[in-house]
Amino acid sequence: METKDKTLHRGHRQRLKDKVRESGLKVLKDHEVLELLLTYTIPQKDTNPTGHKLLETFGNLAGVLNADYKDLKKVKGVGEETALFLSLYPQVFELYLQDKTKKDIFLRNTGDCANFFRDNYTIQNSEVLYVVCLNSMSKFIKAFEIKGFSASGISLDIKQIAEQITSKNIKNIVLYHTHPSGNVAPSEEDVIATREILQMCCLLNVNLCDHLIFNETQHFSFGASGLLHKLYRDCETQFPNNKNIKEMQQSIDFVKDVPVDLDHIIKG
């Protein structure tokens, strides 16, 4: 005979599943999403404490799903199967996106890029930064998330990005970035991160075509605003002997040479 606690836990699991069937995962809080996922590898226990412990350890849902398998195993209540299960989610998503976009998709301007993001991504509770890779004809090749991105500041692993985009087929990249708070204006940290990525691109002869920041209804384009063009000019000054930079500017349709008022654009 089942105890009262087990019956209660089973009823709670069923209520979560019923909510998702009716309205999707968006109606659940982050800890409830983890509770539901954990039920598939922890069948007999209350998963609520483990879900909260994971959020406490890694900060948010994205942090949990992006965590390394070995780090997940260190959390109380998380065993080998659960750690592997959770660590698979970003990999499955990347494979899904690549498979979904195997048809010929071309991102030739800011409008194409904005539509692509709206069709393939959702605005999460935490800031997320993606890199979309294109060939010389601006045809989609792959997309990946940049690790180490947070609302409080950006810690970029430039080496990781370089390894991902160093391919004879990748000629152009576009940055996709979310501001769940609602303000799509770039912060000073956003501009610094973009400059660092652009400097790396200049050395690798890969075009940074645009950096788009999204909330639920709006987006900001570094290219259309003229801000990306200014960053390219800064790179010309920093690397005066790099002949690729001028060629890169001329080959990018996104970049607009318009006056830029950084104090007006950048949010505090």
Instruction: Give the CATH number, domain containing residue 190.
Output: 3.40.140.10
- How many domains does the chain divide into? 2
pLDDT tens string for the chain (268 positions)?
444 455 545 677 888 888 888 888 888 888 889 988 998 998 878 888 999 999 999 988 888 888 888 999 999 999 999 999 998 888 887 777 767 655 678 888 888 889 988 888 777 777 888 899 999 888 998 888 876 555 444 456 788 789 889 988 999 999 998 888 778 999 888 899 899 999 999 888 899 999 999 988 889 999 888 898 889 888 888 888 777 777 776 666 555 444 445 455 555 4
Q: Are residues 68 and 122 in the same domain?
A: no
Domain span holding position 82: 4-96
The domain boundary, picked from 96, 117, 146, lies at: 96
Q: What strand order describes the sheet that includes 129-134? A: 140-145, 129-134, 172-178, 207-214, 219-221
Please state at what angle helix 30-38 crosses helix 4-23, rounded to 10 degrees: 110
pTM over the 0.75 mark: no
Answer with the one of 64, 96, 128 that is the final residue of a domain.
96
Does residue 30 share a domain with residue 113? no
| 132 and 250 together in one domain | yes
> Could you tell me if 65 and 146 lie in one domain?
no
96 vs 101: CA distance, rounded Å: 9
Instruction: Say whether both 218 and 197 belong to one domain.
Output: yes
CB-side exposure of 13: number of CA atoms within 13 Å? 17
Verify that 133 and 257 share a domain, yes or no: yes
pLDDT digits (tens, 9 = 90+) for 226-256: 898 889 888 888 888 777 777 776 666 555 4
pLDDT tens-digit profile of 13-57? 888 888 888 888 888 888 889 988 998 998 878 888 999 999 999
- Asked if 112 and 72 sit in the same domain, the reply is no
What residues contact 177, with CB distance under 8 A and at least 6 apart?
Answer: 127, 128, 129, 130, 190, 211, 212, 213, 214
172-178/219-221 β-pairing: unpaired
Looking at the fold, whether 86 and 115 belong to one and the same domain comes out as: no
Domain boundary among 41, 74, 96: 96
The reply to whether 84 and 140 lie within a common domain is: no
Judge if 129 and 260 occupy the same domain: yes
Q: Are 128 and 198 found together in one domain?
A: yes
